[in-house]
Chain A
Amino acid sequence: GAGVSQSPRYKVAKRGQDVALRCDPISGHVSLFWYQQALGQGPEFLTYFQNEAQLDKSGLPSDRFFAERPEGSVSTLKIQRTQQEDSAVYLCASSSWLGYTFGSGTRLTVV
């Protein structure tokens, strides 16, 4: 596609529920990144893939967070047993030599 597509656009989850957030990168982009942006804050790095390999997951805040990109294209960020502090916008970006392109994000609200 022309840009990075994320779905759903909004997600409301009850505390303790599992959620899955999807990212469709730009076709052909090798690198894919996930960021968490809390209200009023800058985006914080979560994890990074090069093709299907997860090269860096140092930013994942706990073992409840899991990301995958099994075929080197679409990626899913999964959060298990959601908690209120997980409420944030989750941004996905893909990159090529031209630069980084961000999706519009998924706004997760945990109630």
Chain B
Amino acid sequence: AQSVTQLDSQVPVFEEAPVELRCNYSSSVSVYLFWYVQYPNQGLQLLLKYLSGSTLVESINGFEAEFNKSQTSFHLRKPSVHISDTAEYFCAVIDTDKLIFGTGTRLQVFP
């Protein structure tokens, strides 16, 4: 079965600093990976996804993630964070049609 691991439960960072949220997946022949964001008391929103093709995927709000097969990683990055990026971020992988989520990383952006 597929799984993902998010090693960092919390990542504190100052506004305008760069950030990286780590995600590693269990190796498989083919893998489809996602990053979701959850703001307080809200549902999950898709940030970006990797299905195939270019290993670098980008979101509309400045986040990007790179699929790295050799390191089985799909880390999420942003070169300059805003206060409004404070949220919980979940990495996920598809396993027989269903999404399997990591335990989440709480990104806290300080002014």
Q: Do chains A and B interact in one complex? A: yes
Q: Does A105 contact B (CB under 8 A)?
A: yes
Q: Which residue of B lies closest to A31 (CB)?
A: B97
Query: Distance in Å from the Cβ of A14 to the closest Cβ of chain B?
Result: 23
- In this assembly, does B42 line the interface, its C-beta being within 8 Å of a C-beta of chain A? yes
B111 in contact (CB, < 8 A): no
Q: Mark A68-94, 1 if CB is under 8 A from B, else 0.
A: 000000000000000000000001010
Q: Report the minimum CB–CB distance from A96 to chain B (whole Å).
A: 12
Whether B98 contacts A42 by the Cβ 8 Å rule is: no
Which A residues lie within 8 Å of B45 (CB)? 102
Contact A48 B46 (CB under 8 A): no
* Chain B binding surface SS class: strand
Q: Does B90 contact A (CB under 8 A)?
A: yes
Choose one: B6, B97, B101, B104; the contact of A48 (CB below 8 Å).
B97
Q: How many A-B residue pairs have CB under 8 A?
A: 44
How many residues belonging to A are interface residues under a CB distance threshold of 8 Å? 21
Interface size of B by CB at 8 A reads 18
Q: In the complex, A105 Cα to B98 Cα: how many Å?
A: 18
**Is the pair B46, A43 in contact by a Cβ cutoff of 8 Å?**
no
> Taking the complex as formed, is A62 at the interface, i.e. its CB lies under 8 A from any CB of chain B?
no
Of B44, B49, B104, which is within 8 A of A91 by CB? B44
B103 at the interface (CB under 8 A from A): yes
CB B93 to nearest CB in A, in angstroms, measures 12
Binding site for A on B (CB under 8 A): 6, 36, 42-46, 49, 90, 96-104
Q: A42-B104, A93-B99 are in contact. List 11 more A-B contacts (CB 8 A).
A: A33-B99, A35-B101, A42-B102, A45-B99, A56-B96, A91-B43, A93-B44, A99-B49, A100-B46, A100-B99, A102-B36
Residues of A within 8 A of B (CB): 4, 31, 33, 35, 40-45, 48, 55-56, 91, 93, 99-100, 102-105
